Structure 1
Amino acid sequence: MAPLILLCLALMPVIISVSSVQVYAAESAGNLELPDQTVRTHLKSYLDRLDRLDASSSSSRLEIDGQLQRFYRVLDYRVAWTNRNAIKRLVEVIAESVDDGLKPSDYHYDEIRDFAQNPPESPALKARADLLMTDAIFSLLSHMRLGKVMPRSLDPNWNIPAPKPGVNHDQSLMMAVMGGKFPEMISSLRRSSPGYLPLRKALASYRKVVGEGGWQSVYQGPQIEKVGQVDRRMPLIRQRLILSGDLSADAPLAKTNALPADSSASGVAPAPPIPPAQVYTQELFDAVKAFQQGHGLSVDGVIGIETLNAMNYPAELRADQIRVNLERERWHSKIFGRTYVMVNIPAFSVEYVQDNVVRWNSRVIVGKPETQTPVFSAQIQSVIYNPQWVIPSGILVKEAIPAIRKDVGYLDKHRLTIVDSKGKPVDPNRVNWSQYSKGGFPYRLVQASGDDGSLGRIKFNMPNRFTVYMHDTPTKPLFERARRAYSHGCVRVDRPFELAELLLRNPETWSLPKIQAAINTGRTRTVPIPVKVPVFFLYQTAFADGGKVSFRDDIYNRDKELLGALNSNKDRRSVEEAAR
């Protein structure tokens, strides 16, 4: 049976059920349309033209265009938007997309609003209006479900598959338009990720601040280090902390009787009184620490250069940062199951979620900007005690071989052994190191396990083409730093034994003491975990955190490119051009 006939049969119940809704709604509005052959001819012509334009379209645009073709084919190219109330609601829904960090212009907002206010008369304009309205809702639903920007267009290494539409997706789209269900469907998509609505709310708050002129910059000066210190910048700092929600607007000022003495020795004019608003109070100190926590800074209450730089970052740019991360939330909304491990690269953090509950979190060290930790997904399959480290090819060519050429003692210093393909040791003095400066090294460099080994005492095995893993580290003091981008791309984990215990799920066999005992033997051992656990390495520079939104530095400079793609109108133009 032909595919079109199958599709028609599949959609017939939907068409029958929604037609009554449409006709009833149209009749009640006094706007029942009769079939117009000329309008149908224009619609088919526009869709044929759109099909020809698809040769230069993105994959996401192609998917939406395919939906449009199937939708109108089932309707036999009749108009779908005959209910004036539905059109009015469509205008409202498109306008609301700005609160999701999207651009209403991507959904033909101005033109559809004009159509709603002044219904078109000519068959060509009727067909254009109908096609643009259907495209608007299909595009908005697609962008809310998967994101407007395809991640792979920005990152060729992206390997996280987008969730596929359900088997009844075309029926859902038919119901969205013909049954007027699109507002409910879009609203439900906003709830598909727990971090989405807090970011959306924060976007509105920051845009309100921008609309009121933003916040006043706090000029640099001496560090403000302790409670009771007096500084003329304190009123500006207070106001800034109120705007970010870290300080209550009615937080008390310093009490006059608690201020330093205002007079000096006898015969000297009394010193001017100290304004209470200039005093660093305990409430301000606690608010500064909360601000530092929310911006990935050292949480010490000291107002220095880094804290003031974060306070002075313009509200408009923070709003853009939230927009970018709302898009990333849309990318991620349906990729997680109930149990997974998630690393947030710019937040230098990792968490283990089991049955939708965060069971464990910790600090991590990620790749330097020149050796970035990639965004990808894999599966943790086993835990390796006392792992040996095989030097990856990139480090081998760029660092190890050049260092060995200068001093063969590099091998002993770093506890490295040369082994051949059969695992047999090779005498370093018999290797012509200068021959392999550009690659082609026929051996492996293996570092012995131990407390001083680069992988520490434990490694989480997650096969992937990037050769990136999570592991222990001997450089534990680095965890105390706020900014922790120091690795060659792998992720070093603080308190990794705790994560191993949770993943192994067998406290009788693999409790923390028993894991430690196995490691203390010094023997390398691989222990499969009972159920493979997905692990996601993601990049979120703004995210929900305990009811608030936290911000992190864009350590790999990825936000700007994504913001540019969000602001692009390239995909929208093909439909508007086809319907001219």
Structure 2
Amino acid sequence: MNYRFLRDNLLIVIVLSSLFACHRKRVLREREIVGDVRQLSEVIPENITERLEYIADNQDVMEDSVPAISSAVLNYFYQQSNNNPVWSSEGVLDGQADSMFYYIMHADEAGLRPADYHSAALERAITQVRDDAAAKKDATLWAQIDVMMTDAFMKMVTDLRFGTGPRDSITLRKDSVYSDTLLTNYLTSALHQHIIGPTLRAQEPQYQGYQLLKSAWTNFKGKYSLMKWDSLPLSYTDTSAFRQQLINRLVQSGHLDTSGGHSADTALMKKGIKAFQQEFNMYEDGQAGKKTLQALNKSFADWEAQVAVNMDRWRKLPDSLPQRFIMVNVPGYRMDLWDSNMVVVTSKVIVGAPRTRTPLLNSRMTNFVMYPYWRVPYSIAIKEMLPAIKKDRGYLAKKNLEVINGNGDAVDPGSIDWNKLNKNYFPYVLRQMDGLENSLGIMKFNFMNKYSVYLHDTNSRGLFGNSYRALSHGCVRVQQWDSLSMYLTKGDTRHPRDSMRKWLANGEKKQIDIQRGVPIYFRYFSAEGRDGRLVFHEDIYGEDKVLRKQMKR
């Protein structure tokens, strides 16, 4: 007999057995019924210990398949109480457990998902201990409730403060996690002082914009959460059949009333479409066009997700912003200048088209220029202007453009062989002279950024009347440029208002340095709250779609 062979194989069996034993998932006991509820305090700690070990062995996933915040912080918290329960006593839930359970079941009102906080498992377990006499004496069930409640509190505190979406290059909040000690202190204090609700609410953004969005979302949810509606085809040939489908869809969401013998004629149907378009912030033409049909086909869950991603964007801001700042909401086509918690200047804006997006950024406005030159960006000069110049040499004069060489000198356009120029060889800069026809208009507002974008007036002011205003090459055109410039120099004795008016009237080219640089933020809020109702904006750049995927919404 080959004893060496047997010995080696026996060693392999022992090693493999050890490995399998190490990776075998710990099994939780199903029930542990005590004779009297007063005995629960003796048995629950052992069950809590078992659950904490289970979570650690199961890669921080709890028994309901929902990830825990971390086994480390849960262990740290329970070490402070010797693994005793903190949410119940002798078979009775503490009042703070009721508060916690309420916030879990209503997490969606803050843009969070109840399922992330063990809502289903907790609802089952709490129902059992309340309705079933035997379950009331089950130590395993009370341990499950305790650990899940603790985990839910810690996760919700974290998510309400920092959000569930990823941090990005414009996230202003410097911190991103709470320490184990701080989470433990939060929960301990909240339980002892009976302030679970206030503690959770204190984590949410206190900005007016967030609070208005949250309030409007609650109203929207109350109106639409229980409604069901049919989907409509985006393309159709049978006009009569489609008309009936459209009527049914508008009736289902309460935008059309055909009761009381009212026939849904064309005029009434158009009125219903307009009612829907008005509520969902769309161009009110009464026509079931592509964008309107897409909006009609959105489910309640789609609208809910759009609100959730925008709540998350508010959580990426710090606890407070400067006293004075400019906020540009790109999909909302609006600029607001805030001063001392009030909007002092507001304006419609035109932003970058989807192919030439306005970037999201943080910066500080330092100056503005009256009657500026426009140095045409290279991409525009090559892609748009060079082909036009090759077709028509008079294009430069029509657009008030001059050609500047590498030395900064103006060059006679007639001396250039334009047919030899292309994207690989273009040793010039095109500069549009100042004046009313300048693409930048009368004023340009400067702030440092790597994208070479700025705020400016425009010579195409009629475009501010459009409902869709994603039309620029990336810079932001401001309708109320005059009000903005006057407020930025308010109280600045170097630039009296009378002098500013005089310079503008005379067409003088001036650079005005702002006495105190003003922080400026470009953000992407596609849902807002106004007067208790939600205002949705089109996801012009697909940013919502990306964030929904990252947040698994």
Both proteins in one fold, TM over 0.5:
yes
Which residue of 2 is the match for residue 303 of structure 1? 286
Structure 1 residues 240 and 358: alpha-carbon distance in aligned structure 2, compared to 1, 3 A threshold: farther
| Aligned: 1:213 with 2:228 | yes
| Aligned: 1:318 with 2:333 | no
Stretches of structure 1 that go unaligned for 5 or more consecutive residues are 1-27, 54-60, 153-157, 221-231, 254-273, 569-580
| Aligned: 1:380 with 2:365 | yes
Distance of 2:403 and 2:38 partners within structure 1: 82
Distance of 2:313 and 2:445 partners within structure 1: 26
Matches within 5 A, 1:237-316: 243=254, 295-297=280-282, 303-305=286-288, 312=296, 314=298, 316=300
Preserved contact between residue 172 and residue 316 of structure 2 (Cα < 8 Å): no
Note the alpha carbon deviations across 1:392-418, whole angstroms, 9 max, x for none: 233234333444455554433332233
| Aligned: 1:424 with 2:409 | yes
Superposed CA RMSD in Å reads 4.8
Note the alpha carbon deviations across 1:493-515, whole angstroms, 9 max, x for none: 11211111111113776566543
Note the alpha carbon deviations across 1:288-310, whole angstroms, 9 max, x for none: 988766544457xx634469759
Preserved contact between residue 460 and residue 470 of structure 1 (Cα < 8 Å): yes
Which residue of 2 is the match for residue 489 of structure 1? 474
Structure 1 residues 426 and 40: alpha-carbon distance in aligned structure 2, compared to 1, 3 A threshold: farther
Matches within 5 A, 1:163-242: 163-164=174-175, 170-171=181-182, 173-177=184-188, 179-180=190-191, 181-190=195-204, 192-207=206-221, 208-214=223-229
Matched pairs, number = 484
Distance of 2:383 and 2:266 partners within structure 1: 53
Distance of 1:522 and 1:31 partners within structure 2: 85
Note the alpha carbon deviations across 1:491-544, whole angstroms, 9 max, x for none: 111121111111111377656654332134434321111222222222222211
Alpha-carbon shift at residue 29 of structure 1 (Å):
8.9
Structure 1 residues 438 and 103: alpha-carbon distance in aligned structure 2, compared to 1, 3 A threshold: same
Alpha-carbon shift at residue 313 of structure 1 (Å):
5.2
Secondary structure at 2:228 match in 1: coil
Of 103, 109, 114, 1:99 maps to 109
Amino acid at match of 1:303: G
| Aligned: 1:351 with 2:336 | yes
Alpha-carbon shift at residue 133 of structure 1 (Å):
4.2
Of 69, 83, 90, 2:87 maps to 83
Of 89, 102, 118, 1:108 maps to 118
Amino acid at match of 1:83: W
Distance of 1:334 and 1:105 partners within structure 2: 27
Secondary structure at 2:308 match in 1: helix
Secondary structure at 2:354 match in 1: coil
Distance of 2:494 and 2:274 partners within structure 1: 41
Preserved contact between residue 212 and residue 532 of structure 2 (Cα < 8 Å): yes
Which residue of 1 is the match for residue 153 of structure 2? 137
Which residue of 2 is the match for residue 519 of structure 1? 504
Distance of 2:252 and 2:437 partners within structure 1: 45
Which residue of 1 is the match for residue 434 of structure 2? 449
Preserved contact between residue 368 and residue 486 of structure 1 (Cα < 8 Å): yes
Amino acid at match of 1:329: W
Which residue of 1 is the match for residue 526 of structure 2? 541
Structure 1 residues 38 and 83: alpha-carbon distance in aligned structure 2, compared to 1, 3 A threshold: closer
Matches within 5 A, 1:392-411: 392-411=377-396
Distance of 1:29 and 1:527 partners within structure 2: 77
Alpha-carbon shift at residue 490 of structure 1 (Å):
0.8
Stretches of structure 2 that go unaligned for 5 or more consecutive residues are 1-36, 62-66, 89-93, 130-134, 236-243
Structure 1 residues 49 and 295: alpha-carbon distance in aligned structure 2, compared to 1, 3 A threshold: closer
Preserved contact between residue 457 and residue 477 of structure 2 (Cα < 8 Å): yes
Distance of 2:548 and 2:77 partners within structure 1: 36
Preserved contact between residue 501 and residue 507 of structure 1 (Cα < 8 Å): no
Distance of 1:360 and 1:30 partners within structure 2: 66
Structure 1 residues 212 and 35: alpha-carbon distance in aligned structure 2, compared to 1, 3 A threshold: closer
Which residue of 1 is the match for residue 354 of structure 2? 369
TM-score w.r.t. the length of structure 1 is: 0.68
| Aligned: 1:476 with 2:456 | no
Distance of 2:518 and 2:479 partners within structure 1: 19
Distance of 2:183 and 2:379 partners within structure 1: 48
Amino acid at match of 2:522: F
Preserved contact between residue 380 and residue 462 of structure 1 (Cα < 8 Å): yes
Amino acid at match of 1:189: Q
Secondary structure at 1:456 match in 2: coil
Secondary structure at 2:171 match in 1: coil
